[in-house]
Amino acid sequence: MRSPAPIASVERDGTALVFSGVLDRDAVPALWGRCAAWPNGITQLDLSAVERVDSAGVALLAELAARTGADEVLGEPAGLAELRRAYRLGAALDFAN
Contact call for residues 5 and 24 (beta carbons, < 8 A): yes
Is 65 within a domain? yes
Cα 9 off chain centre by: 10
Tell me which residue range forms the domain holding 60.
22-87
**Is position 60 within any domain?**
yes
The answer as to whether 33 is a domain residue is yes
Tens of pLDDT, residues 34-87:
888 877 899 999 999 999 999 999 999 999 999 999 999 999 999 999 999 999
Residue 68 lies in a domain: yes
**What total number of domains does the chain contain?**
1
Whether residue 4 is contained in a domain is answered as no
Distance between CA atoms of residues 73 and 61, nearest Å: 9
How confident is the model over 12-31, as pLDDT tens digits? Answer: 999 999 999 999 999 999 99
Give the separation between CA 27 and CA 10, rounded to whole angstroms.
11
Does any domain span residue 6? no
Q: Confirm whether 16 is domain-assigned.
A: no
